[in-house]
Amino acid sequence: MFRNRIKVNHQLFEETSHTPALVDLVGEKSMDKVIDFCFIENPYFPDRKILKKLNQKFTALIKFYPSSNPKLAQQNLAEVIHVNPEYLVIGNGATELITIIQRQLADDMGIPIPTFSEYIEKLQDSEKVKLYQLSEDKHYHLDLNEYAAWLISENISSALIINPGNPTGQLFSITEMIGFLKKMKHLKLILVDESFIDFSREEIPSLLPFVEEFRNLIIIRSMSKHCGVPGLRLGYCCTANEQFLKEIRDVLPVWNINTLAEYFLSILKETSAYYELARKKVLVDVRQLFEQLEHIPGIEVYPTGSNFFLIKIGFGLSAREVQMKLLEGFGVYVRDCSNKVGLDNFHIRVASQGRKKDKKLIAALKNISQ
């Protein structure tokens, strides 16, 4: 525990539904004293070698416009994820594409809650949102058969599934997802967010190989998470539906991704072997973190299929109180999930930041739970 408590700008929590940036929250001078367990990322990628490459190109890249031909970036990405480049749209982060897809393509949308807040907040017409409340008794897990029946009974034309779920980490197998897609072929749109799926298993259970089979399917992914580059603002969606692709591309501005992001995409193929090693290292860390969290009294750790955990606090403090105690007293920043629609105020979310840093989280949680 720190002798001098970290000063926190509490007002920032009232101004956004997302987690305030650490530098804004504690100031630049205190940044090095805090470990950010809110952000869901790959702590081992990119490595120093890749960062050095980016740094060497930095001066030249910021003096030029990005390419006005998005097909070049699509081809670079397609070589790594093994899809037809024509099926890809690359965005300035996944949030840009989420906003476009919901506003341009969705007449209405079934959204299981709790969820990533952008899926609720970026719909211009609140009547488009049809919320499907998940049960705490079931760890807020989604039953695909029950969800399908609800979508049919409510006459909803579009559906969202996040796999693995956010904030729960619930993971569906390919078999389960294919079963749902076959049952829901009548829907106009099924949006599947796979932003965390690279952290789920050694063999990644992605739907990317099945986009041609399901014409109402759009897969969306944030590269901030699995590639650990949130500042580059990279995300993409993949679909074989020509009309969907046209409508998304028609509203994208020219140069919607920057030159650094384009260059990063161009070197992905040569870094893919190291990426696989880093990704699997995360899987090992997550399993160890789960075992350690399970032994802390007064908390309930929900099983996960990703690199983060939803945790229920049961030792008399609210999620916000736990968040502040950990941040101000121990330099450990966790996600207070109280502002997520569909959750109570006793849940936090933590993401593994590598074995060494995870030990500090465990020690801090043990201290305040006693």
Instruction: Let me know: does 189 contact 177? Beta carbons within 8 Å.
Output: no
Residue range 45-91, pLDDT digits in tens: 999 999 999 999 999 899 989 888 999 999 999 999 999 999 999 99
Residue range 162-193, pLDDT digits in tens: 999 999 999 999 999 999 999 999 999 999 99
Instruction: Return the amino acid letter for 170.
Output: Q
Please report where in the chains the tokens 């229920």 appear, as a residue.
312
Residue range 298-345, pLDDT digits in tens: 999 999 999 999 999 999 999 999 999 999 999 999 999 998 999 999
pLDDT the model gives residue 163: 98
pLDDT at 8 over 60: yes
Q: The dihedral of CA 166, 217, 265, 100: what is its sign?
A: negative
Superfamily of the domain at 10-46+273-369: Aspartate Aminotransferase, domain 1 (3.90.1150.10)
- CATH number belonging to domain 67-271: 3.40.640.10
Ranges in the chain annotated CATH 3.40.640.10: 67-271
Burial class (CB in 10 A: 0-12, 13-18, 19+), 294: exposed
Look over the chain and give the mean of its residue pLDDT values, rounded to a whole number. Answer: 93
pLDDT at 132 over 60: yes
Please report where in the chains the tokens 């995360």 appear, as a residue.
282
Instruction: Let me know: does 269 contact 73? Beta carbons within 8 Å.
Output: no
pLDDT at 126 over 70: no
If one compares 17 and 270, the residue with the highest pLDDT of the two is 270
pTM score above 0.85: yes
User: First vs last Cα of the chain: how many Å apart?
Assistant: 14
Burial class (CB in 10 A: 0-12, 13-18, 19+), 296: middle
Q: In Å, how far are 13, 14, 104, 319, 351 from 329, measured between CA atoms?
A: 18, 21, 46, 15, 19
Paired tokens of 46:
């990119």
Residue range 182-241, pLDDT digits in tens: 999 999 999 999 999 999 999 999 999 999 999 999 999 999 888 989 889 999 999 999
Strands 189-193 and 158-162, bridge-based pairing: parallel
Q: 286 in helix, strand or coil? A: helix
If one compares 21 and 197, the residue with the highest pLDDT of the two is 197
Work out the pLDDT band at 124, boundaries 50, 70, 90.
low
What is the phi/psi pair of residue 214, to 5°?
Answer: -125, 100
pLDDT the model gives residue 25: 83
Q: In Å, how far are 139, 167, 238, 290, 349 from 312, measured between CA atoms?
A: 10, 12, 35, 14, 9
Instruction: Let me know: does 260 contact 330? Beta carbons within 8 Å.
Output: no
CA distance 102 to 50: 35
CA distance 176 to 334: 31
If one compares 150 and 31, the residue with the highest pLDDT of the two is 150
pLDDT the model gives residue 7: 83
pLDDT at 3 over 60: no
Instruction: Determine how many CB atoms are found less than 10 A away from the CB of residue 67.
Output: 14
pLDDT the model gives residue 19: 79
Ranges in the chain annotated CATH 3.90.1150.10: 10-46+273-369
Q: 17 in helix, strand or coil? A: coil
CA distance 104 to 49: 40
CA distance 193 to 211: 13
pLDDT the model gives residue 14: 77
CA distance 97 to 111: 17
Instruction: Determine how many CB atoms are found less than 10 A away from the CB of residue 270.
Output: 11
